[in-house]
A and B are shown apart, each in its own frame.
Chain A
Amino acid sequence: MFKTSHERIAAAIQGQWSERPPFALITSLYGARLTGCETQKYYRSSERYAEGQKAVVRLTDPDILTGPFALPLEAEAFGCELVFLSDNPPNIRKPAIRSIADVSALEPPDIDSAPSIVYMRESIRRLVQDLGHEKPICGVITSPVDLPALILGIDLWIETLISDEPLAQDLLAMTSGYFVSYANALFRDGASFLAIPSLFTHPSILFPDHVHRIILPTLHRAFKAVSGPIVFHHGGNPLVPYLQKYMDLPNVAGFALDHRDDLDRARSILGPGRLILGNLNGPTLSSLPLDRILGRVDGILENRADDLRFIFLTAAADIPFNTPVETLKAIAERIRSWQRKGQT
């Protein structure tokens, strides 16, 4: 019987038996709801963020906590304008630049002084200081190949890749340099691992030729320079059809899968050594009946009963603000009370 989340996660990493899989729910946003904190304050004050996550611990007692899941804050550090919504993480109102001609003028933010980066780093440090002895803390950061889409907007990034490949390569070199600095800073701040949502690595988004020739080599170089373990997050699209392409990326300890992904298929592709995280659909928890949600929870747990390198995680974006508290509590209780067979 494992007593702490650290022990349970360590067992999963090493493929050792534990009485149940570790679990985490994507409740970065939900902490604001639990503490009644306005999102504009929550995503600006690391103190308020940490208070929110402590409330999450009191409600669900997960095995992992995450730093702010608010990738647009990174885009803000590059010059994008944000909009703060009352029940969602911040979003990008205006990209940093409007035309390809301005791309070469972009500069990476200083990770020690850019306010939104400082907020993210302080949030990690606070979580590590206040809760790190109990639980691993995960930083969530933008992939260097997704950053251009945030900074420029999706259309201008696709346009740049199609019409000016050398410029696209220059931009990726810049975002990669920033990414490596920021990722390694988060490890120095105490993060146990990093989750990296990756949408613009997907052949359903970009031309496959661009993915193979430009995107994956860029990601390979960047991940290689990161000084800790990475969880490759599906980013909103099913990952299994393309999982093979990402298997050789350095430092990737596990893959967080989409709710539509087949976990058995994922395991057969990945082999026994990698972590699989997934795959309850988080954004739907506010609208589905509880018995249906718990049925899905049971299904996932039974499906992965013999998979010692499995971590139960909600897929996709944050669990919605208006999800009933009872729903999250019931999910957490159902996972905690589930018993893996095979050892006493």
Chain B
Amino acid sequence: MTLKNTQDHLLNAILSGSRKEAIAILDRWAGHCGYRQTISELLEPVLETIGTLWVSEKISLAAGYLAGKIAEDTLLKAHEHEQAVPEIRGPVVLGNVEDDYHSLGRKLVGIFLKTAGWRVIDLGNDVPSESFVDAAVKNEARVIAVSAMMFSTAKNIAGIRNELDRRGLHGRIKLAVGGAVFRIRPELVAEVGGDGTAVNAMATPALIDRLWREADVQNIP
């Protein structure tokens, strides 16, 4: 079976909710070339397609979730088989903003960032603004990625922006924001002081990549 055919089968398996079939396809491919190569040549292009479909609202949150879990499973196997995807970028500090407890989006973002080779420092739910900035400074992260599901909690992201500005880190540490509310109200990104957002979890690695490059590291004390 050609790579293109296999990609199509994998895509169909994920979109139809068939985890077993999707994993079997990946395992078979890895039997020939290993998990690391399987991730780069088979899984990543399929995830890219799923991301595009997700943006255009042609697939469900459940399909996005399943894609994330399959990516996580494959990443784990790559580690187990000593063919780990090297963490070549980052770190990125990730967390749900203070008062927010909706973890699904954050978890998916973490999975897709790791699949793309980012080191992720996940602070969990309900993270105070100071903790985000402390973790970013301590680990020399150039990007903080913060998740909020609802309008009421998204407003708390402004606290992280204020904390970054107060410590003179404006432009040096970029603030990525995400969550359902930002899709409904894109203007909220600027209102809370975000430097960018992604339309879904799968699009986050590209956003982080851009913000990481834009961060002004020249002037870090």
A binding-site residues for B, Cβ under 8 Å: 83, 85, 87-88, 91-93, 153-155, 158-159, 161-163, 203-210, 236, 283-284, 287, 317, 320
**Does B103 interact with chain A (Cβ within 8 Å)?**
yes
A residues near B107, Cβ cutoff 8 Å: 155
Contact of A206 among B61, B69, B102, B126 (CB under 8 A): B61
Query: When the two chains form their complex, are residues B60 and A85 in contact, meaning their CB atoms are under 8 A apart?
Result: no
A residues near B190, Cβ cutoff 8 Å: none
- Taken together as a complex, chains A and B put the C-alpha atoms of A320 and B107 apart, in Å, by 28
A residues near B16, Cβ cutoff 8 Å: 207, 209
Query: When the two chains form their complex, are residues A158 and B61 in contact, meaning their CB atoms are under 8 A apart?
Result: yes
- Taken together as a complex, chains A and B put the C-alpha atoms of A163 and B104 apart, in Å, by 17
- Given that A206-B60, A320-B151 are known contacts, is A162 also in contact with B17, CB under 8 Å in the complex? yes
- Given that A162-B19, A162-B66, A163-B19 are known contacts, is A83 also in contact with B57, CB under 8 Å in the complex? no
- Taken together as a complex, chains A and B put the C-alpha atoms of A91 and B96 apart, in Å, by 14
- Given that A162-B19, A209-B16 are known contacts, is A204 also in contact with B61, CB under 8 Å in the complex? yes
* Given A207-B17, A287-B191, 4 more pairs with CB closer than 8 A: A158-B61, A207-B63, A209-B17, A320-B152
Closest approach, in angstroms, between the C-beta of B188 and any C-beta of chain A?
A: 9
Could you tell me the dominant secondary structure of chain A's interface residues?
mixed
**Does B24 interact with chain A (Cβ within 8 Å)?**
no
B residues near A87, Cβ cutoff 8 Å: 152
Task: Give the one of A88, A155, A205, A206 with max B CB within 10 A.
Answer: A155
Find residues 149-180 in chain B having any chain A CB closer than 8 Å to their own CB: 150-153, 180
Q: List 9 A-B contacts (CB under 8 A).
A: A88-B99, A88-B152, A154-B104, A155-B107, A159-B69, A162-B66, A205-B61, A207-B60, A283-B150
Contact of A207 among B62, B125, B151 (CB under 8 A): B62
- Given that A83-B99, A91-B101, A210-B17 are known contacts, is A158 also in contact with B65, CB under 8 Å in the complex? yes
Interface string of B56-86 (1 = CB under 8 A from A): 0100111101100100000000000000000
- Taken together as a complex, chains A and B put the C-alpha atoms of A236 and B101 apart, in Å, by 17
B residues near A83, Cβ cutoff 8 Å: 99, 101, 126
Query: When the two chains form their complex, are residues A204 and B103 in contact, meaning their CB atoms are under 8 A apart?
Result: no
Closest approach, in angstroms, between the C-beta of B179 and any C-beta of chain A?
A: 12
A residues near B17, Cβ cutoff 8 Å: 162, 207, 209-210
Closest approach, in angstroms, between the C-beta of A49 and any C-beta of chain B?
A: 19
**Does B185 interact with chain A (Cβ within 8 Å)?**
yes
Report the interface size class on chain B: 20 to 34
- Given that A88-B152, A320-B152 are known contacts, is A153 also in contact with B62, CB under 8 Å in the complex? no
Contact of A158 among B62, B151, B153, B191 (CB under 8 A): B62
Query: When the two chains form their complex, are residues B65 and A155 in contact, meaning their CB atoms are under 8 A apart?
Result: yes
B100's nearest neighbour on chain A, judged by CB, is A91
- Taken together as a complex, chains A and B put the C-alpha atoms of A99 and B66 apart, in Å, by 17
Query: When the two chains form their complex, are residues A155 and B104 in contact, meaning their CB atoms are under 8 A apart?
Result: yes
Query: When the two chains form their complex, are residues A153 and B60 in contact, meaning their CB atoms are under 8 A apart?
Result: no
Closest approach, in angstroms, between the C-beta of B126 and any C-beta of chain A?
A: 8
A residues near B126, Cβ cutoff 8 Å: 83, 93
Query: When the two chains form their complex, are residues B152 and A206 in contact, meaning their CB atoms are under 8 A apart?
Result: no
A86's nearest neighbour on chain B, judged by CB, is B99
A161's nearest neighbour on chain B, judged by CB, is B62
Query: When the two chains form their complex, are residues A203 and B150 in contact, meaning their CB atoms are under 8 A apart?
Result: no
- Taken together as a complex, chains A and B put the C-alpha atoms of A72 and B161 apart, in Å, by 30
Closest approach, in angstroms, between the C-beta of B76 and any C-beta of chain A?
A: 16
B residues near A91, Cβ cutoff 8 Å: 99, 101
A residues near B150, Cβ cutoff 8 Å: 283, 317
- Taken together as a complex, chains A and B put the C-alpha atoms of A87 and B152 apart, in Å, by 8
Task: Give the one of A85, A162, A320 with max B CB within 10 A.
Answer: A162
Query: When the two chains form their complex, are residues A153 and B151 in contact, meaning their CB atoms are under 8 A apart?
Result: no
- Taken together as a complex, chains A and B put the C-alpha atoms of A87 and B180 apart, in Å, by 20
B residues near A205, Cβ cutoff 8 Å: 60-62
Closest approach, in angstroms, between the C-beta of B192 and any C-beta of chain A?
A: 11
Name the 8 nearest CB pairs between A and B, nearest first: A207-B17, A155-B104, A154-B104, A283-B151, A158-B62, A205-B61, A206-B62, A88-B152
Task: Give the one of B63, B99, B101, B152 with max A CB within 10 A.
Answer: B152
B99's nearest neighbour on chain A, judged by CB, is A85
Closest approach, in angstroms, between the C-beta of B155 and any C-beta of chain A?
A: 9
- Taken together as a complex, chains A and B put the C-alpha atoms of A207 and B136 apart, in Å, by 37
B residues near A236, Cβ cutoff 8 Å: 180
A287's nearest neighbour on chain B, judged by CB, is B191
- Taken together as a complex, chains A and B put the C-alpha atoms of A93 and B101 apart, in Å, by 6
- Taken together as a complex, chains A and B put the C-alpha atoms of A123 and B158 apart, in Å, by 35
Find residues 1-52 in chain B having any chain A CB closer than 8 Å to their own CB: 16-17, 19
Closest approach, in angstroms, between the C-beta of A39 and any C-beta of chain B?
A: 12
- Taken together as a complex, chains A and B put the C-alpha atoms of A284 and B151 apart, in Å, by 8
B residues near A206, Cβ cutoff 8 Å: 60-62
Closest approach, in angstroms, between the C-beta of B105 and any C-beta of chain A?
A: 9
- Taken together as a complex, chains A and B put the C-alpha atoms of A210 and B60 apart, in Å, by 11
A residues near B66, Cβ cutoff 8 Å: 158, 162
B residues near A287, Cβ cutoff 8 Å: 191
Query: When the two chains form their complex, are residues A153 and B104 in contact, meaning their CB atoms are under 8 A apart?
Result: yes
B residues near A317, Cβ cutoff 8 Å: 150-151
Closest approach, in angstroms, between the C-beta of B206 and any C-beta of chain A?
A: 22
B64's nearest neighbour on chain A, judged by CB, is A158
Contact of A204 among B60, B153, B191 (CB under 8 A): B60
